[in-house]
Structures are given as structure tokens and as C-alpha cells.
């Protein structure tokens, strides 16, 4: 651990968030809850399939492809959770959901988002 660790929310992940434990098991029930939340809150930007081509994504924005193995902000459960909670800075085209969702819902979404990736063969 050097002194020049990437700060949270930048490229290269979020060392603090990586330590968080996902308290919600990725059961079929959790995935179903996550899917519903995704359809309601995330599809507009990330697309129904999670590939980042949502019908309402803001002009000139590039919502991440959530189905590939590339996690610009870190691919651990805790790091994905931190993006959902706090939003994707520094521009925050994607705003955080912490005031709009329960913690449990955020973890359901983490489970769902991760399941998208495994379906594409990675
Ligand atoms: C207003 C459009 C918008 C909405 C709504 C939105 N996002 Fe995003 N999201 C983005 C953009 C843009 C980025 C890419 C930011 C960057 O890194 O440049 C992003 C990044 C992410 C990342 C980081 C991916 C990585 O590679 O590390 C995750 C995970 C994510 N979004 C999940 C979600 C989930 C789950 C929801 C619903 C709760 C959601 N997003 C809603 C626009 C949106």
C-alpha cells in the first residue's frame, strides 16, 4: 500500500469500498428484486440489457457497459455498491441513489449487475 493510492471513485477502483462485505446473498429472489429496480431506475441509461445504450442516456454520455469484464470503477461488490450509492463522479451524470433507495435495494442491484456479466460468458 503506497501513499499514492487512487482516491475513491476515480478510475482504478475504490480501495475503501473494496473492503465492504455484501450482506445480501445473490439468491434468485435478490436477483429478481435487482432486476426490477434496474428496469425502473437504470435501464434508461444503461439499456435493458445493461450494455450502455439506454434510450434516454444523456447526450454525449457513455453509460458503462455492465455486461463486460471491464470495471472502470472497480468490480468488487463493494466498489459497485459505492458507485450506486454515491454516483459516478466527477461529473455525476449518474447520480447516487443513497437518498432514493434502501441499502438492501442497492445490494440487490449489485447482485443483479454482477449477474449480467456472468451471462455474457465471463
Ligand atoms: C443518467 C444516466 C444513468 C443512470 C440513470 C444510471 N447510470 Fe450508471 N452510469 C452512467 C454513466 C454515464 C456511467 C459512466 C461513468 C464513467 O465512468 O464515465 C455509469 C457508470 C456505472 C457503473 C460503473 C461501471 C464501471 O465500469 O465501473 C455502474 C456499476 C453503474 N453505472 C450502474 C448503474 C445502476 C445499477 C443504475 C441504476 C440504479 C445506474 N447505473 C443508473 C449513467 C447512468
CA of 38 to the centre of ligand 1 (A): 11
Dihedral of alpha carbons 6, 82, 98, 117, sign: positive
CATH number of the domain residue 43 falls in: 1.10.760.10
**Confidence (pLDDT) at 4:** 47
**Domain for residue 87, yes or no?**
yes
- pLDDT for the residue numbered 10: 52
Ligand 1 pocket, residue 94 CB under 6 Å: yes
- 67 lies in which domain range? 23-119
Percent of the chain past pLDDT 70, that is, above it, reads: 87
Please tell me the total count of domains within the chain. 1
Q: Tell me the C-alpha distance between 51 and 75, whole Å.
A: 16
Is residue 93 lining ligand 1, measured as CB closer than 6 Å? yes
Has residue 111 been placed in a domain? yes
Buried b or exposed e, range 60-79, using 16+ CB within 10 angstroms: eeebbbbbeeebebbebbbb
In a domain, 2, yes or no: no
Write the residue with the smallest CA distance to atom 8 of ligand 1.
Answer: 94
pTM across the whole model: 0.90
Asked if 37 and 105 count as a contact pair (C-beta separation under 8 A), the reply is: yes
| Distance from the alpha carbon of residue 94 to the mean position of ligand 1, in angstroms | 5
Give tens-digit pLDDT for 10-35. 567 899 999 999 999 999 999 999 99
Question: CA 89 to CA 76: how far, in whole Å?
Answer: 18
Residue 4 placed within a domain: no
Amino acid at each position: 500500500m503506497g501513499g499514492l493510492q487512487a482516491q475513491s471513485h476515480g478510475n482504478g477502483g475504490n480501495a475503501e469500498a473494496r473492503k465492504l462485505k455484501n450482506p445480501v446473498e445473490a439468491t434468485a429472489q435478490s436477483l429478481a428484486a435487482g432486476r426490477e429496480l434496474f428496469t425502473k431506475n437504470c435501464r434508461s441509461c444503461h439499456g435493458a440489457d445493461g450494455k450502455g445504450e439506454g434510450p434516454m442516456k444523456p447526450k454525449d454520455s457513455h453509460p458503462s457497459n455492465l455486461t463486460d469484464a471491464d470495471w472502470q470503477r472497480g468490480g468488487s461488490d463493494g466498489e459497485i455498491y459505492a458507485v450506486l450509492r454515491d454516483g459516478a463522479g466527477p461529473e455525476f451524470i449518474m447520480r447516487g441513489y443513497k437518498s432514493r433507495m434502501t441499502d438492501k435495494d442497492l445490494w440487490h442491484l449489485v447482485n443483479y449487475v454482477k449477474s449480467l456479466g456472468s451471462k455474457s460468458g465471463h
